[in-house]
């Protein structure tokens, strides 16, 4: 006789996770359901075996008992592994007794149901001054979201009345539809699968258990926050239905533009005017940083207009913990004097004589002009 090892029956390994076990069970239960195998007399007993196997492996206590020592789970007598199927005597009523688990197989999954009851996420934006975004700030934002109704405490039932078990499905959330000898389960239409039914709905929330309200939420904006960044505040979105968990609040940052510093990632760029004499001779200049301090920068002789210098670590702090901060990119903007005093003009004319250069020679050569 075949060994009735529940692991073998479900085709899972001994260290399979609960999800794996459930997944294997669902697949097999669908495949071997007698409704799916009309005319196959063996499908009933196979289906029952699978169900028993799942009952053991899905129940932590039974699973441990099975894993730890020889017990009788099949057949009602004899040692584990020796029992034959279908001799327990319960017959089909056993199967119907455990129909609760059918909701799991044929109905909506429990996880999807919790997902449906979870409160919605809320999104608001917050305007930040440049300095606050850079240094980080704790601020308050106005949020309009669903909250548990104060009149009924979120139950949806009028004060003094109670929530009844759904009469159509006896609170199970699923109904068995007869199909010949067997039955299939489907979500209960009356209660939407929730299993409950409100006789007199709360007037404050019209039975939904929630009301939309505006409130202030305190949020910490991390130092170095960028424009358009989403800061998550867990559990401060809309309240969940029927005690399910609340959604999250997402605060989108809107950072004011700075007249001088432009942000690129964690770096900032700044255009710094440099006189043509400084550029030609080289100079050590002072450059402003986004945080209000300054940093010294050495320009080599012959610095060209538009040249960029990177000052490491002088940009924005990283919002990631332990992340490296950004850099400051200094772009040189050459300043040519618009007015010259007489003495200055003489010096420049002398310089022109001295250099006697044709700076466009290369250009004309490349352009092909003669």
Binding site for Zn ion (CB under 5 A): 149, 151-152, 166, 168-169, 188, 190-191, 202, 204-205
Closer residue to Zn ion, CB minimum distance, 98 or 161: 161
Q: Which is nearer to Zn ion, 190 or 262 (CB)?
A: 190
Bridge partners, 328 (sequence order)? 268, 311
Closest approach of Zn ion to the CB of residue 109, in Å? 17
Residue with Cβ nearer Zn ion (88 or 158):
158
Helix (H/G/I), strand (E/B), else coil: 254? strand
DSSP structural state of residue 14: T
Residue with Cβ nearer Zn ion (147 or 227)? 147
Smallest separation, CB 134 to Zn ion (Å): 45
CB of 99 to Zn ion, least distance (A): 15
Any bridge partners for residue 329, and if so which?
A: 269, 310
Nearer to Zn ion, 55 or 168 (CB): 168
Cβ neighbours for 31, distance < 8 A, ≥ 6 positions apart: none
CA distance 311 to 75: 79
Q: C-beta of 239: minimal distance to Zn ion in Å?
A: 12
Residue 250 CA to residue 231 CA, distance in Å, equals: 6
Which of residues 107 and 315 has its CB atom nearest to Zn ion in the complex? 107
Tokens representing 125 are 């934006």
Min CB(245)–Zn ion separation in Å: 19
Q: Which is nearer to Zn ion, 22 or 172 (CB)?
A: 172
**Buried residues in 6-41 as b, exposed as e (16+ CB within 10 A):** bbebbebeeebeeeebbebbeebbeebbbeeeeeee
Nearest distance, CB of residue 213 and Zn ion, angstroms: 12
Tokens representing 285? Answer: 């200049």
CA distances from 86 to 44, 91, 180, 324 (A): 9, 7, 21, 67
Cα 199 vs. chain centroid, distance in angstroms? Answer: 37
Minimum distance from residue 100 beta carbon to Zn ion (Å): 14
Residue 164 neighbours by CB distance under 10 Å: 13
What is the enclosing helix (H) or strand (E) of 145?
Answer: strand 137-148
Are the beta carbons of 314 and 327 closer than 8 angstroms? yes
Residues 226, 222: Cα–Cα separation, whole Å: 10
Residue 111 Cβ, how far from Zn ion at the closest point, in Å?
20
Q: Is the dihedral of CA 252, 258, 262, 267 positive or negative?
A: negative
Question: Residue 48 or 241: which CB sits closer to Zn ion?
Answer: 241
């Amino acid at each position: 006789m075949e060994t009735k090892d529940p692991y073998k029956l479900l085709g899972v390994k001994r260290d399979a996770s609960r999800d794996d076990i459930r997944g294997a069970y669902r697949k097999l239960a669908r495949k071997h359901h007698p409704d799916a195998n009309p005319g196959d007399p063996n499908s009933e007993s196979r289906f029952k075996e699978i169900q028993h196997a799942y009952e053991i492996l899905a129940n932590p206590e039974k699973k441990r008992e099975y894993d730890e020592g020889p017990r009788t789970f099949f057949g009602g007598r004899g040692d584990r592994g020796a029992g034959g199927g279908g001799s327990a005597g319960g017959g089909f009523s056993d199967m119907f007794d455990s129909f609760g688990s059918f909701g799991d197989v044929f109905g909506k999954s429990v996880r999807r149901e919790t997902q449906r009851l979870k409160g919605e996420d809320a999104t608001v934006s917050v305007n930040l001054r440049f300095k606050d975004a850079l240094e980080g700030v704790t601020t308050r934002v106005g949020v309009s979201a669903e909250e548990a109704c104060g009149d009924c405490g979120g139950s949806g039932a009028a004060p003094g009345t109670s929530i009844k078990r759904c009469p159509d499905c006896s609170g199970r959330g699923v109904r068995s539809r007869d199909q010949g000898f067997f039955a299939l389960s489907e979500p209960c239409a009356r209660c939407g699968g929730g299993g409950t039914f409100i006789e007199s709905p709360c007037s404050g929330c019209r039975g939904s258990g929630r009301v939309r309200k505006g409130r202030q939420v305190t949020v910490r904006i991390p130092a170095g926050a960028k424009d358009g960044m989403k800061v998550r505040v867990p559990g401060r979105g809309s309240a969940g239905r029927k005690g399910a968990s609340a959604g999250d609040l997402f605060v989108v940052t809107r950072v004011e533009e700075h007249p001088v510093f432009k942000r690129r990632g964690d770096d900032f760029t700044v255009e710094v005017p440099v006189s043509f004499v400084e550029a030609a001779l080289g100079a050590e200049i002072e450059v402003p940083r986004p945080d209000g301090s300054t940093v010294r920068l050495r320009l080599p002789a012959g610095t060209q207009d538009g040249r960029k210098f990177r000052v490491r670590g002088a940009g924005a702090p990283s919002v990631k913990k332990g992340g490296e901060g950004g850099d400051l990119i200094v772009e040189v903007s050459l300043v040519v004097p618009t007015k010259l005093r007489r003495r200055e003009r003489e010096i420049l004319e002398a310089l022109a004589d001295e250099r006697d250069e044709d700076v466009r020679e290369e250009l004309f050569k490349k352009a092909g002009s003669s």
